Structure 1
Amino acid sequence: MTTGAYKASATGAPRDGAASGAATVPELLQAQRIAGDHSAVIELQRDAAATTTRASLTDSIGRLAAGLQASGQHRGGRVVLLAPNDTHWIVAALGVISAGGVLVPLDTQMPREDLVHVLADCAPHIVLTTTGLRARLPADGSNASVYHLDGDDAAADSWLALFGKQPAIPATAPDTPAAIFYTSGTTGPPKGVPLTHANLASNVEALCAQGLADARDRVLVPLPFHHVYPFTLGILTSLTLGAPIIVPFSLVGPQILRALQIGRPTVMLGVPRLAEALWSGLEARVTARGRMAAGLFHGLLQVSQLTRRIGLPAGRRLFAGLHRRLAPSLRLVVVGGAALDPGLGRRLQGLGWEVATGYGLTETSPILTYNPPDRLRLECAGMPLPGVELTIGEPRAEDGSGEVLARGPNVFAGYWNLPEKTAAAFTPEGWFRTGDRGWLDADGYLHLAGRRSAMIVLAGGENVDPERVEKAIAAAAEVREAGVIADQGRLAAVVVPEPGVVRGLSAAELRGRISAALSRTLADLPSHHRPGLLRVTPDPLPRTRLGKLRRHKLRELFQRLGDADRAAAPDAGPLAPERMAPEDRQLLSDPAAAQTWRYLCERFPEHHLTPDTRLAQDLGLDSLSWVDLTLALSDRAGIDLDNAAIARVETVRDLLGEAAGATGTAGSGRPLVEEIADPERVLRPEETALLAEPGALRRALAPLVAGFVRLGLRSFLRIEVRGSLPPGGPYLIAPRHLSALDPLVLLEALRGHSPASLRWAAWTGVLFSSRLRRWFSRQAGVLPIDPGAAPRSSLALAVACLRRGSSLVWFPEGQRSPDGALQPLRPGIGVLLRVQPVPVIPVWIGGTREALPPGRLLPRPARACVRIGEPIDADEYGDDPGKIVDSVHARLVALGNARPGAQ
């Protein structure tokens, strides 16, 4: 061990809200004089935001602390908190700690075996959870009382039953445990890491003293609270400074972007994966605008990075438009949990954001080193936080690197119930062994050189012991050997199957067999230990003569085995969520995304559905299929996707992200038919205005336009009309669709029916794409119906039209037939008639395709026929949307079969 240690001292002038000498968590929360009406937590909901003031939060924490003491919660009693991020989580956590209890925050996605172990290990007296998560708790083996953070407030098991009438926070000794954080269990079951009040308070005090933020800031925390990093930095440090905490609706990309826009944070906590997603999303949008836009963007970025090097940062001005659209108030991005790629960090700086990074472990509360924006060195882990001492154990002569050792008031005293592991974690001199290799330069900055073992640290900060995963995979009868690596932040595996398994199987079948085997053998491991990418090879893995894997050669083999498409699991049914990457599992925690995934699994049960599945290439979705899909998502998940959202979707992951980010009527949770049954509540004022009674101009123009159209048609088209519309109305006219001429031919066929009383459903992309076209469409009585993109508003507009007495022309195929054959009818007509049952007039049109086929600009002479069928009464088609579609389709087929001559 080196004899000297680098000991940091506080540098930089503290801003408002700096260190106060607090030694316990309650003292931290009371350290600054923050106005009672100052916002403490801003929780974004699906379509709104709920703000909790400082006074309200403090009162709730104090009353919970008082109630816990009054109920016999003795000092040091453990309280498990198993719940998603929200304001209740913060109140529960701080109320328990303030009462003198020991908080045990747990991951809501923790595997059942680990959950059982943790509950037995910490022996909680109370479990605070939600009604939905309670089912995850073991049915027996625990004497803990369970209380719900949601549900009926008056119920006996509501957490409100624990609240006292008046807030009261007892005095607490700094050396008493405040929380037990359980690690991911990299070398066995999860280990409990007790942190005292002094551990946490010292880390928060040191962070506050750096002056990175104050009460004028707003801190976005898009990370699960149960990790010590967001708990210490996101909750304790923010509240100590008086900076409001912004809690996104869910921890998925679209909702985080929404929080950046609506919550207007000035500081955001993140992990490298989040920073990578932010950059990738920006670059993808710029690239989609064309080569010139991409070149301009990257050119400006290089200029910004250059001016920053000479002390003249210009990024915020050069990218002012980007900041306004994406994150109008954000100034500082704090990245922890794993190392940030230096190149990415410089790109974020070039875009105009300040960047700060840090390094630490759960055992160190968690920050050991920090990289502040004014002294940022992205290639290293930073300088020790004030009060932290670092030294290098057994440094190598060639480069001075060795194990990083640490001590200070933030370092824990030992693992919960694990005396042997505690003894192994410290040197005889009392230094904590971090398990990381590194060295300290002349300025005191720590440089890391990897783990002492082959431990894998994923982009989200999860630790994975590859040997543990490899051993579990090799336990499968189908597997001879396996190697595990990290690929772009995700866990990947190369598997060698037993020779007998390979015989008689195709490559796809083999991958399916191996994938199924891995699902069984890895079921008991933590979810982040399950590879999200699998590649199979018949060749032996590269090993030394002693049998150890040569991991750099393993990576080369992995890359040679092919790209992600060949590596993906075969058609073997939808991928189980527990086998997905952590960020994809987090995406499915959003209710709308989860509903969307369930619908896709039901619709494509034979496909190997994964987040990387491509909707067009792999599932065969075309523009017509989007109608079904968007209507189903509207009905099942309560979301509407507009044209812009649909254009951005390529993979299932894209669709889940758009579902998670959808707003508007998305949060109602009401079925589609119930939503549009009250169309006036769905429609915007400008949409309702389209339904106004025809004015004098339209009444005058309608017969003139109709006459002009008929005259033009007769110059090249001979039209034969059979049948007529019945008197009265309203009714729905359902014509076959072959050509752009169909509406004009239909207008000729409806001679005698007042053009002003008819409404026409038309695609917004054509007749509403310019100011002149919009004006003409309104005068012609055209409604912008687009059930493929926004089914709620489109169908509500159609319902309102029929209710106001107008008949409506609705092309049920959705678009022109690509081959001249009658296409399957889209479900929109079924939903529409389910809500507003009116007679349906089937109309068969023929010959227009020959006159003006798709792709032709000018018509040619031809003959056309229009056959108007008998009305289909509501009693005939019933109230089932699917049967309505079938009924209309059958009548159109019968009408077509009955017609004489050519189409």
Structure 2
Amino acid sequence: MVAQLNTLQDLVRRLEQEGDRDAVRMLTRESLVTWNYAELAQAARELGAGLAANGVEKGDPVGLLAPNTAEWIVACLGIIEAGAIVTPYDTQMPSAELAHAISDSGVRYVFTAGEPAQRLAQLDLQNPPKAIRLDAEPQGSNSWHAWRRANKPAPAQVHADDLATLFYTSGTTGAPKGVLLTHGNIAANLTALISQQIAFRDDRVFVPLPYHHVYPFSIGLFTPLTLGATIVLPYSVLGPQIVRALKEGDASIILGVPRLYEALNSAIQTRVAERGARAQKIFAAMQSTSRYARERFGWRIGKYLFRGLQKRMAPSVRMVVSGGAPLDPELGESLRSLGWEVATGYGLTETSPILAYNPPGQAKLDSAGLPLPGVELRIGELEGQDEQAEDARPGLGEVQARGPNVFIGYHNLPEKTDKAFTKDGFYRTGDLGWFDDEGYLHLEGRASEMIVLGGGENIDPERVEKVLCSAQAIRDAGVLEQNGRLVAVLFADPEALRGMDSGTARQQVNEALQERKEQLPSHHQISDYRISPDPLPRTRLGKMRRHKLRELYERIESGEVKQEQQPVAIESMAVEDQQLLQITPARRVWDVLAKRFSAVRLTPDTDLRLDLGIDSLGWVDLTLELREQGGVIIGEEVISRVQTVRDLLREAADAAEAGSDEDDGALPLVEQLANPDDALTDEHKRWLSSRTLSERLVGRVILGVDRLFFRWYCPLEVEGVDQIPLFDPVLLAPNHRSIMDSPALGSTLPYARLERIYWGGFTGILFKNAGVRYFSRSTQVLPVDPRAGARTSLALGAAALQRGYGLVWFPEGRRAPSNEVLQFQPGVGLLLQAHPVPVVPVWIEGTEQAMPIGRRWPRPGKLRIRFGAPVMPHTLEEEGEGDTREQRIANALRERVLELGEGSSSGD
């Protein structure tokens, strides 16, 4: 089959010969969906006939704007069967660039799905293409199924020199350029690769990379199909889903980029570090032993030493393939020491894509590899450069290529096409390289990115950036020339600098740069830098977008870029975060957070507790809000794992959507709260049991100290406390400004009321050891545990009300960072729906000055507490605005609290 492959259409028409062998294994949220070759061939044949019947002619471009799915593959094969040009677009391309690519390509039809379909509909296009949905129900009029035609004659035959694909480059140096590849270009690359016997018919190739890049398109789609192998597609690119796909898909080869393997290696090292220093030493010794045995004797003992690790993560994987960007040699050696073979490839979109490869067993991981059979490589002189720099390696020059896999030109850009080739027909790759004595190609950066300073020094920016990024305080770095000097834009690591003010953070960055000076020659030292609040502009494959980097530097320099007090734009996030937000539940959570914290610089690195102030009660209301407004259920067992917004988004990506079978049974939450004991364990119920005599005595002593403190040190002015019912169940709803709010409020209540009232308290402070647990038990504080989730915490409050007690509940869910009153969260509305007791609004004033967030001991000063008249929940529901009953109750209650604060000295 391989020897006679001239076009991709030939391949499509031979797929059915593989019969019932698995062609695609695709993971969904709950299951593994399999397409065999016969099914794939039939669907592609019928779709191709349908496209032709609807006026798609040979050579017409047809677009693809969707995440990887089996349906994406069918659409691609159907376009090829029709003789049309496959035109895939990056689903994360900025809107302006996406609009340019769609307009430039001239497509009339685009296969799309999910969030990219919404983006397509929102683009400002003069002639918008018709959308064909890959995710619509089969009977839908806009579904791809409606385009299938059975028993129709095959469309026109294509030839090797006919166009097969139109890929738009990521635009590292400007607007995306359309790269035209013929059937012969791609077929030649496939034939050469398969002849090297790197992969085989029985392999299962795991593809986490998007097919709109030529690397996964050729190596991860058409190479397996040409072999008759199996393609494995994950449900998402989150860590747990990748492991799940490797196991359930039984993958034997991973096709990735360096970033994927960096994350994989980091996850392994982190897991080992969690087991202690001794485990780390043993693991490092095993890796060293494995590496020595391979290098000294050629023994591959890593697969035996790390059999347990491989069984847990990737039981059938034998080889990892890296492309798209250079793989760090040390990372490659680390992966080999774990028992996996490592293969790398080098090439460009314009070369279909492979020019050189590092085959398993012969790999020199510090090189780009050997030229692929049929590819002619040479080192040519740099255009416009008369002589090499003094420190340049002998033989260094531009890598130039010629062969049947080299593209025919750029779409609608004849001048750029002419400049891309030498007079004798070699393609100018723009990469700097040299050959060693064994014929391996070594790369030294991009010629177009080489920086020449005023003194004539040549600087490889990637070399400098790699050194800078090795500093703990720096997550990413971009280097450029500015006024004859070498400068950098840095994205500081939020985790490393968390909690520091701007001056301290800059000092940390300065120290990190100073430490790295010894690793660089003097003329590679940066003379100045700017810190970007957002990730640096990179492509999906991790390449720096140099023209965007200069724009960013100039905007920071002019003051246009600063720490804006609003959520960061999705398009400016790191590629991995953009991809995460393409998963619907994660996007819903982000939208809820962006709306709730619209006046905060919200990013994926934002710490939920430290930056947003989400404490225990805040978790209760946040999970409710995510459920009510975002339709996403965050399970109670996952909250303890969540620290940053990114953590929450990842959990949401795997979480159940509201209304699913995982939704705590069929009952709505308000009905569950009506019978709260069903949601509580015996341990929880113990906190609601009667106190012992000693606990009551200790409680009285604590109350006495509390009242003395607020009489002499922070005197209180109290109004309306006589309006509180002494013995009936009641809910007190104060605003929340300080950790002093609860003790201040407690000092004002009559003893008869205090005997019959419970308080919500954060387990991380009031329940962390036996002493404070005894304190909490003595003062009737209930454990509100952020790890337990909304249902359990609300159930404890509901159980207190059901038992006839009062309850103090802070409806804002967290302490306000200023004098404002935050929106009241729906949790209080749910409690009052389930148990319609009187609610007393409470205004607390002055505690924010006495003990602001971060202060350990209060300042002396006067405080004020005002109690409003009790009001029933049905009255609040009639007064309030909102889409749900609980929202209307919460909003009206907030208005009543604000009314109490009108005319006070601190205001709202």
> Which category describes the TM-score, using the shorter chain as reference length?
0.5 to 0.7
Give the equivalent residue in structure 1 for 2:411: 416
Match of 1:508 in 2: none
What SS does structure 2 have at the residue aligned with 1:276? helix
From 162, 168, 175, give the equivalent of 1:182. Answer: 168
Q: Does 1:660 align with 2:660?
A: no
Q: Return the match for 2:28 from 44, 49, 60.
A: 44
Give secondary structure in 2 for the equivalent of 1:373. coil
Q: 2:697 & 2:438 partners in 1: Cα distance?
A: 88
- 1:165 equivalenced with 2:162 (yes/no): no
Alignment correspondent of 2:562: 570
Summarize deviations over 1:67-107 as a string: whole Å, max 9, x none.
Answer: 12222322112112222332222111111011111111112
Give the match for residue 556 of structure 1. Answer: 525
Answer yes or no: is 1:333 the counterpart of 2:316: no
Alignment of 1:495-510 (within 5 A): none
Change in CA separation of 1:360 and 1:647 when aligned onto 2, cut-off 3 Å = same
Q: Distance in 1 between matches of 2:104 and 2:167?
A: 12
User: Which residue is equivalent to 1:850?
Assistant: none
Change (3 A) 1:341 1:37: closer
Aligned to 2:253: 267
- Unpaired stretches in structure 1, ≥5 consecutive residues: 1-17, 457-464, 468-483, 498-510, 512-532, 538-550, 775-780, 845-867, 896-903
The secondary structure found in structure 2 opposite 1:380 is coil
Equivalent residue number for residue 447 of structure 1: 442
SS in 2 for 1:447: strand
Secondary structure in 2 aligned to 1:202? helix
Q: 1:602 aligns with which of 595, 602, 623?
A: 595
1:708/1:435 Cα in 2 relative to 1: closer, same or farther (>3 Å)?
A: closer
Report the alpha carbon displacement of residue 874 of structure 1 after superposing the two structures with TM.
3.5
Q: 1:390 aligns with which of 377, 380, 383?
A: 377
Q: Which runs of 5+ in 2 are unaligned?
A: 383-387, 455-463, 470-474, 484-489, 491-504, 510-519, 535-552, 708-721, 735-739, 774-779, 843-866, 901-908
Q: Secondary structure at the match of 1:449?
A: strand
Aligned position for 1:148: 133
Cα offset, 1:181, TM superposition: 1.3
Q: 1:97 to 1:886 in 2, by over 3 A?
A: closer
Q: Report the Cα offset of residue 873 of structure 1.
A: 4.2
Q: Alpha-carbon deviation of 1:366?
A: 0.6
> For 1:312 and 1:447, how far apart are their aligned partners in 2?
27
Amino acid at match of 1:98: E
* 8 Å Cα contact 1:640/1:666 also seen in 2: yes
For residues 211 and 747 of structure 1, what CA distance do their matches in structure 2 show? 84
- Please give the per-residue CA displacement for 1:431-483, whole angstroms capped at 9, x wherever unaligned: 33322222333333222222233269xxxxxxxx999xxxxxxxxxxxxxxxx
Hey, what's the Cα distance between the residues in 1 that align with 2:841 and 2:127?
Answer: 69
Specify the code of the residue in structure 1 equivalent to 2:650.
Answer: A
Aligned ranges 1:298-317 → 2 under 5 Å:
298-310=284-296, 311-317=298-304
**Residue 133 of structure 1 aligns with which residue?**
119
**Inter-partner Cα distance in structure 2 for 1:871 and 1:725:** 12
Matches within 5 A, 1:263-302: 263-287=249-273, 291-302=277-288
Shift in CA distance, 39/152, structure 1 to aligned 2, threshold 3 Å = closer
- Rounded to whole Å, the distance in 1 between the matches of 2:702 and 2:94 is 72
Q: Identity, % of aligned pairs?
A: 39
> Aligned with 1:268: secondary structure?
strand
Q: What does residue 73 of structure 2 align with?
A: 90
User: Within 5 A, what are the aligned runs for 1:641-720?
Assistant: 641=634, 649-650=642-643, 654-662=644-652, 665-668=655-658, 677-679=667-669
Would you say the 8 A contact 1:63–1:168 is kept in 2? Answer: no
Q: Report if aligned partners of 1:641, 1:789 keep a CA contact under 8 Å in 2.
A: no
Query: Equivalents in 2 of 1:320, 1:796: separation in Å?
Result: 46
How far has the Cα of 1:340 moved from its partner? 0.7
Specify the alignment match of 2:792 in structure 1.
794
- Aligned partner of 1:148: which letter? R
- SS of the aligned residue for 1:174 comes to coil
Q: Is the 8 A contact 1:193 1:416 kept in 2?
A: yes
Superposed displacement of residue 578, structure 1: 2.7
Offset of 1:64 from its aligned partner? 0.3
Residues 371 and 377, structure 2, Cα contact 8 Å, conserved in 1 = yes
What is the CA-CA distance between 1:61 and the residue it aligns to? 0.9
SS of the aligned residue for 2:72 comes to helix
The answer to whether the 8 Å contact 1:199/1:411 transfers is: yes
1:778 match? none
- Alpha-carbon separation, structure 2, partners of 1:816 and 1:356: 51
Secondary structure of 2:232's counterpart equals strand
- Can you list the C-alpha shifts for 1:828-880, whole angstroms capped at 9, x where unaligned? 74153265243368899xxxxxxxxxxxxxxxxxxxxxxx9998643244387
Once residues 798 and 808 of structure 2 are traced to their aligned partners in structure 1, the CA distance between those partners, rounded to angstroms, is 18
Aligned partner (choices 220, 225, 250) of residue 206 of structure 2: 220
Retained in 2: the 8 A contact 1:128–1:148?
yes
Is 1:376–2:366 an aligned residue pair?
no
Deviation at 1:360, TM superposition (A): 0.7
Q: Which amino acid aligns with 2:76?
A: A
Task: Report deviation, 1:405.
Answer: 2.6
Cα distance change, pair 795–384 in 1 and its aligned pair in 2 (3 A): same
| Bigger Cα displacement from structure 2, 704-713 vs 309-318 | 704-713
Mapped partners of 2:663, 2:635: distance in 1: 19
**Number of the residue aligned with 1:522:** none
Structure number with the bigger relative contact order (C-alpha 8 A, sep ≥ 6) is 1
- In 1: Cα distance, 2:823 partner to 2:100 partner: 55
State the alpha-carbon separation in 1 of the partners of residues 286 and 525 from structure 2.
36
> Aligned partners of 1:305 and 1:186: how far apart in 2?
37
1:557 counterpart SS class: coil
Aligned length: 761
Q: Which amino acid aligns with 1:403?
A: E
C-alpha distance in 2, partners of 1:344/1:837?
Answer: 59
2:206 counterpart of 1:246: no
1:579 aligns with 2:572: yes
Partners of 1:415 and 1:427 in 2: CA distance? 15
1:347 shift after superposition:
1.8
1:20-47 CA distances to partner (integer Å, 9 max, x unpaired)? 54222243353685342635131434x5
Tell me how far apart the structure 2 counterparts of residues 573 and 419 of structure 1 sit (CA, whole Å).
45
The one-letter code of the counterpart of 2:874 is D
Please give the per-residue CA displacement for 1:768-793, whole angstroms capped at 9, x wherever unaligned: 999xxx9xxxxxx999964x345454
Matching residue's letter, 1:220: F
How far is 1:288 from its partner? 5.4
The residue correspondences of 1:744-893 to structure 2 (distance < 5 A) are: 786=785, 788-789=786-787, 791=789, 793-794=791-792, 812-813=809-810, 827=825, 829-833=827-831, 836-839=834-837, 873-878=872-877, 881=886, 884=889
Q: Provide the residue aligned with 2:713 in structure 1.
A: none
Q: Where does residue 93 of structure 2 map in the other structure?
A: 110
CA distance in 2, matches of 1:794, 1:139: 50
Alignment root-mean-square deviation, CA: 5.8
